[in-house]
Every structure is written in C-alpha cells, then in structure tokens.
Amino acid sequence: HSGFVAIVGRPNVGKSTFLNRIIGQKIAIMSDKAQTTRNKIQGVYTTDNAQIVFLDTPGIHKPINKLDDFMEDSAMSALNEVDAVLFMVSATETRGAGDNFIIDKLKKVNKPIYLLINKIDDINPNKLLDIMDTYKNALDWSEVFPISALQGNNVDELLNNLENRL
Ligand code: GDP
Ligand code: MG
C-alpha cells in the first residue's frame, strides 16, 4: 500500500498539526511521480505495510489577481496527480466561503476525497452531528472522519482506512 496524498483546506483548520503528528520520517525518497507534481512534499508516513507521501498543495484559495489565478490552476492540476485527497475543515467554525471555494474545486477532481472534520476535542460532542450534516451532501465523500489532529482522536482509524485504499 503506497501512494501520494494531498491535504487541502483553508488556513488554520489544522493541516500542519495533522502532518506533524503523523509524519515521523524525513523525506527519503523522491519518485518520478513526485517530481512531476507542483506539490510540495511535506513528509512520508511509513508503517510495516504502507508508505504514504503527503503533499501540501498551496494556492487553493480564492484568486485575487492574475498570478494567483495561475497558481490556483496549477494547484488544481496537481490534485489530479495524487492518489487521494484529504479535505480538512474545522469543527469549531461554521462552513464558510473559504471552505465552499475549495469544495467547488474538488468537484472536478476525480480521486477519492476524504472529509476530515478536525478539532473535535474543542466542541460540544452534541454538536458533531450538526456539523457533519452541513458538509455531508456537499460532495460525494469517499469517507468522513471526525478527528483531533492535536490530541489524536480517530487519527489511527483514518490512516488505516487510507492505507487500505492505496
Ligand atoms: P493550518 O493552517 O491548516 O496548517 O493549521 P495549523 O496546523 O497551523 O493549526 C492552526 C491552529 O489550530 C493552531 O493553533 C493549532 O494548534 C490548532 N489546531 C490544530 N488542530 C487542532 C485540533 O485538533 N484541536 C484543537 N483544539 N486545535 C487544533
Ligand atoms: Mg499550515
């Protein structure tokens, strides 16, 4: 089980926290495939039976000028070169324009897309179903995982699922 996975989401949802938690190894490999992407390799997650290269995909946000527009297009084409996409939102904030902009872009990505609802440690558990409801039908998610990148809740379950898909 191995492959390339991009993580996307608006600023501050917890992408870096998530990557820092799961990646224990510095970049040791560079495949041809990685070099063809415009993605930046963030790290490699390695277990006995899996190796997943995580890519940061900068530039997926609402373009404000022509250069931005170009960056945005290349970020989107990069998403078509990975094996799966993790889309992260924050459970502590309501679904907003920043989330919707990315969701709209992801509609054109023909790859497994996981919805990660992060920061569940910071909300009233009673609210989780409501939050999940607001995203449930936004896209045809391959999987939906409520997680806490900070405390680790449900992160192993997510990684196991992802490993098995690759
Ligand atoms: P990024 O911009 O998406 O990379 O977000 P960061 O990883 O930099 O996180 C933004 C802020 O959210 C930081 O203050 C993190 O400590 C906090 N954060 C990230 N994940 C969690 C989480 O699971 N729970 C809580 N309570 N805070 C989190
Ligand atoms: Mg970050």
ipTM: 0.99
Quick check: CB of 20 below 6 Å from ligand 1?
no
Q: What is the pLDDT along the chain (166 residues), one digit of tens a residue?
A: 999 999 999 889 998 889 888 885 444 444 444 444 445 667 888 888 889 988 866 656 666 666 666 656 666 777 888 999 999 999 999 999 999 989 998 998 999 999 999 999 999 999 999 999 999 999 999 999 999 999 999 999 999 999 999 9
Q: Are 41 and 27 in contact (CB under 8 A)?
A: yes
Distance CA(159)–CA(157), nearest Å, equals 6
Alpha helices in the chain (DSSP H): 15-22, 32-36, 66-79, 97-106, 128-136, 155-165
Residue 66, pLDDT score: 66
End-to-end CA distance of the chain: give it in Å, rounded.
5
Residue 35, pLDDT score: 42
Residue 74, pLDDT score: 67
Q: What is the pTM of this model?
A: 0.88
Compute, in angstroms, the gap from residue 56 CA to the centroid of ligand 2. Answer: 9
Q: CA angle 15-18-24, nearest 5°?
A: 130
DSSP bridge partners of 66: none
Quick check: CB of 98 below 6 Å from ligand 1?
no
In this structure, which ligand is nearest to the CA of 92? 1
Quick check: CB of 119 below 6 Å from ligand 1?
yes
Give the relative orientation of helices 15-22 and 155-165 as an angle to the nearest 10 degrees. 80
Residue 39, pLDDT score: 56
Ion ligand 2 residue ranges (Cβ < 5 Å): 15-16
Residue 106 has a CB neighbour count (10 Å cut-off) of: 21
Q: Are 155 and 149 in contact (CB under 8 A)?
A: yes
2-165 classified as CATH 3.40.50.300: yes
Quick check: CB of 100 below 6 Å from ligand 1?
no
